[in-house]
C-alpha cells in the first residue's frame, strides 16, 4: 500500500512541478525546425505529440494542427519537389520562403495536388510545415528531390505546338517570369508554360487541354492584347481565330495549390451547329408574339448574324432576344446565320407551323324573369374561326357561395367561320327565388385541339335573369 501511494505521489509531482514536462515532438516549433540536407532526401516525420503555435501560417489548407517544421538551405538555384509518402494520417504540407514573420508560401499540398514543386535560389532557406488538418496525427515519409524545370517556362522558350498531337508536361515545375501578362480568366496564377503556333491559313483552331485546374490564354505574338481565355473549371477547350502567317503564343497557367500534370493538343475547331429556340414551339398562332433566341451549337454566343422568319421579314442577331408575330397561318422556314468571336460562321434552320384554332362565344340569351319551378330555354351562340371545329359549350350558374357550378354541357361541330346555336334548358329553383336573380356563364372550348384556343379571352360570356319569384 505504501509503495502504491508513493508511486501516485511521484506521478503527480511529475505533472504538477514547474519544469517537469514531456519532451516536445521533433520540429514542433519553427525555431527548432529539423534541418534536411541536399536532395535527394528521405526522412520519417511523425506529427504525434506535435502542437500548433499561434504564429503558424494558415494559408495552405484548412485549420492546421500538430505542426512539424523542417528547413532546407539550397546549395544551388533550381527546382525542388517535396512530397509526403507512406502517410498514416491526412497530413498536408506547405512550403515557405523568407524569414520568420515574413514568410511567403511557395508550395502547398492540397486535395488537388500531391506534391509541392518550387523554385530555389542558392543560399536561400526554405521551410516545410507538415500539419494535420483534421487533428489525426501519424507518421509519414518526407521526400525532397531535384526536378528539371519545364523547358517552355518562359515566353522566349515557347515550344512549337503542332496539329493533332498531344503534348504533356508538369505545370508545377514552372514559374511566372517578370512582366508576364495576367490572363483575364485566371488572375492569381503563379505558374505557367508557353507554346507557339504559326497559322498556315486563316481558320478557327481549338486548344484542348486536360489539367486539374488551370486556364489557357492566347496572345498574338508581338501584340500585348489577349486574343482568348478559358478557365479549366468551365470547359476543357478554347477556340480562337487565326490570321494566315501570324504566330500565336498559348499560355497554360495555374496556381501553386492546383498546378500539376497536363496534356495539350491543337486541332481544327468544330463547325458551328446554329439553331434557334422559339418561345412557343408547338403550333403558335397569329395572336402570339413569339420570342426567338439563336444559338451557335458550340456554347459560344453569336456576335453578328441574322434571323429570317420565313415570311419575308428578318431581324439582326444581337445580344438580346428577337420578337416576331406572324400575320397568317402556314409553315415557315426560320433560318439563322451567325458568326462567333473566334471567326466561325454557320447557318441553321427549323420549320415552324403557325396554326390558329379558335372559337368565340358570340351570344348568351337568358330569360329576363322567371318563377321557381319554371323551365325555360337558354341559348348560347358560338362561332368557329379559320377551321371547322368540334366545340364544347358548358353552361354554369353562380351559387349563393359565389362559386360557378356547371349544370349542363353540349358538344357540336361548327364549320369554318360559321356560327351555331347551342340550346339549353334551365329549371329555376326556390333558392333562385330567395336570391331574386340568377347569373349564368357560357364557356366554349376546343376539346379535340390539344394546344388550346388561340384567343381564349372571347371564350366566355355572362348574362343574368334579373327577376326570379316564387
Q: Which residue has the cell 348568351?
A: 364
The answer to the question of residue 259 being in a domain is yes
The answer to the question of residue 14 being in a domain is no
Residue spans of the chain under pLDDT 70: 1-23, 212, 233-234
Phi–psi pair at 6, nearest 5 degrees:
-65, -35
Residue 241, beta-bridge partner list = 204
Among 113, 129, 146, the domain boundary falls at 146
The answer to the question of residue 347 being in a domain is yes
308 and 209 in a single domain? The answer is no
345 and 370 in a single domain? The answer is no
Phi–psi pair at 338, nearest 5 degrees:
-150, 165
**Would you state the cell numbers that stand for residue 451, as one nine-digit string?**
394546344
Strand arrangement, sheet containing 302-308:
314-316, 302-308, 330-340, 345-354
**Peptide bond preceding 216: is omega within 30 degrees of 0, i.e. cis?**
no
pLDDT given for residue 89 in this prediction? 85
262 and 282 in a single domain? The answer is no
The answer to the question of residue 310 being in a domain is yes
Among 287, 319, 354, the domain boundary falls at 354
The answer to the question of residue 1 being in a domain is no
**Would you state the cell numbers that stand for residue 310, as one nine-digit string?**
420565313
pTM of the model: 0.72
Contacts of 271 (CB under 8 A, 6+ apart): 344, 346
178 and 252 in a single domain? The answer is yes
pLDDT given for residue 17 in this prediction? 43
Residue 147: burial class (beta carbons within 10 Å; 0-12, 13-18, 19+):
middle
Distances (CA, A) of 383 to 231, 307, 320, 378, 400: 60, 36, 39, 17, 31
Angle (CA) 165-342-303 rounded to 5° is: 155
34 and 136 in a single domain? The answer is yes
400 and 341 in a single domain? The answer is no
Reduce the DSSP state of residue 221 to 3 states and report it: coil
Phi–psi pair at 433, nearest 5 degrees:
-65, -35
DSSP string across 396-425? EEE-TTS-EEEEEEEEEEE-TT-EEEEEEE
Between CA 144 and CA 116 the distance in angstroms is 10
Of 420, 330, 422, 421, the C-alpha closest to 384 is: 420
Report the largest interatomic distance among the alpha carbons of the chain, rounded to a whole angstrom: 119
**Would you state the cell numbers that stand for residue 210, as one nine-digit string?**
486536360
Residues 51, 66 contacting (CB under 8 angstroms):
yes
The answer to the question of residue 6 being in a domain is no
**The domain that contains 111 carries what CATH number?**
2.60.120.380
Domain count, the chain: 4
The answer to the question of residue 165 being in a domain is yes
Residues 446, 357 contacting (CB under 8 angstroms):
yes
369 and 393 in a single domain? The answer is yes
37 and 139 in a single domain? The answer is yes
Between CA 300 and CA 340 the distance in angstroms is 7
Among 237, 268, 299, the domain boundary falls at 268
Strand arrangement, sheet containing 167-170:
167-170, 261-268, 204-211, 237-241
Between CA 266 and CA 204 the distance in angstroms is 11
**Would you state the cell numbers that stand for residue 39, as one nine-digit string?**
536532395
344 and 373 in a single domain? The answer is no
Between CA 161 and CA 337 the distance in angstroms is 32
142 and 34 in a single domain? The answer is yes
Of 198, 211, 256, the C-alpha closest to 238 is: 211
End-to-end Cα spacing for the chain = 112
The answer to the question of residue 280 being in a domain is yes
Residues 104, 98 contacting (CB under 8 angstroms):
yes
196 and 235 in a single domain? The answer is yes
Residue 124's domain comprises 30-146
Helix and strand tally (H, E) in the chain?
2, 34
Reduce the DSSP state of residue 284 to 3 states and report it: coil
319 and 408 in a single domain? The answer is no
Residues 389, 449 contacting (CB under 8 angstroms):
yes
**The domain that contains 292 carries what CATH number?**
2.60.40.10
Amino acid at each position: 500500500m505504501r509503495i502504491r501511494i508513493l508511486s501516485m505521489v511521484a506521478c503527480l509531482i511529475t505533472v504538477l512541478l514547474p519544469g517537469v514536462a514531456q519532451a516536445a515532438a521533433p520540429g514542433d516549433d519553427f525555431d527548432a525546425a529539423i534541418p534536411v540536407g541536399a536532395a535527394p532526401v528521405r526522412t520519417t516525420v511523425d506529427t504525434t505529440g506535435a502542437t500548433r503555435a499561434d504564429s503558424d501560417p494558415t494559408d495552405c489548407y484548412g485549420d492546421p494542427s500538430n505542426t512539424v517544421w523542417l528547413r532546407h538551405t539550397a546549395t544551388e538555384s533550381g527546382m525542388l519537389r517535396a512530397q509526403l509518402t507512406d502517410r498514416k494520417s491526412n497530413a498536408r504540407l506547405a512550403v515557405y520562403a523568407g524569414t520568420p514573420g515574413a514568410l511567403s508560401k511557395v508550395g502547398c499540398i492540397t486535395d488537388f495536388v500531391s506534391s509541392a514543386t518550387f523554385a530555389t535560389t542558392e543560399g536561400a532557406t526554405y521551410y516545410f510545415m507538415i500539419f494535420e488538418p483534421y487533428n489525426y496525427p501519424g507518421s509519414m515519409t518526407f521526400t525532397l528531390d531535384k526536378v528539371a524545370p519545364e523547358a517552355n517556362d518562359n515566353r522566349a522558350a515557347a515550344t512549337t505546338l503542332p496539329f493533332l498531337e498531344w503534348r504533356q508536361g508538369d505545370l508545377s515545375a514552372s514559374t511566372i517570369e517578370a512582366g508576364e501578362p495576367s490572363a483575364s480568366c485566371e488572375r492569381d496564377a503563379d505558374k505557367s508554360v508557353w507554346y507557339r503556333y504559326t497559322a498556315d491559313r486563316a481558320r478557327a483552331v481549338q486548344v484542348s487541354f486536360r489539367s486539374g485546374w488551370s486556364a489557357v490564354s492566347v496572345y498574338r505574338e508581338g501584340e500585348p492584347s489577349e486574343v482568348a481565355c478559358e478557365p479549366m473549371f468551365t470547359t476543357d477547350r478554347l477556340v480562337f481565330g487565326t490570321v494566315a502567317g501570324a504566330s500565336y503564343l498559348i499560355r497554360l497557367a495555374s496556381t501553386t495549390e492546383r498546378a500539376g500534370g497536363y496534356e495539350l493538343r491543337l486541332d481544327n475547331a468544330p463547325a458551328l451547329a446554329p439553331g434557334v429556340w422559339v418561345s412557343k414551339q408547338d403550333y403558335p398562332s397569329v395572336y402570339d408574339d413569339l420570342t426567338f433566341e439563336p444559338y451557335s451549337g458550340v456554347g459560344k454566343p453569336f456576335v453578328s448574324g441574322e434571323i429570317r422568319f420565313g415570311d419575308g421579314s428578318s431581324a439582326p442577331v444581337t445580344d438580346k432576344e428577337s420578337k416576331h408575330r406572324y400575320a397568317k397561318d402556314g409553315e415557315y422556314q426560320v433560318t439563322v446565320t451567325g458568326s462567333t468571336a473566334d471567326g466561325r460562321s454557320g447557318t441553321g434552320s427549323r420549320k415552324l407551323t403557325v396554326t390558329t384554332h379558335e372559337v368565340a362565344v358570340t351570344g348568351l340569351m337568358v330569360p329576363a324573369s322567371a318563377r321557381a319551378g319554371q323551365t325555360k330555354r337558354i341559348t348560347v351562340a358560338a362561332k368557329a374561326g379559320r377551321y371547322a371545329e368540334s366545340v364544347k359549350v358548358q353552361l354554369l350558374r353562380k351559387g349563393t357561395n359565389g362559386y360557378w357550378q356547371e349544370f349542363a354541357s353540349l358538344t357540336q361541330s361548327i364549320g369554318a367561320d360559321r356560327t351555331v346555336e347551342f340550346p339549353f334548358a334551365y329549371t329555376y329553383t326556390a333558392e333562385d327565388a330567395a336570391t331574386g336573380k340568377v347569373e349564368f356563364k357560357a364557356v366554349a372550348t376546343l376539346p379535340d385541339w390539344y394546344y388550346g384556343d388561340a384567343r381564349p379571352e372571347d371564350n366566355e360570356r355572362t348574362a343574368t335573369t334579373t327577376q326570379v319569384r316564387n
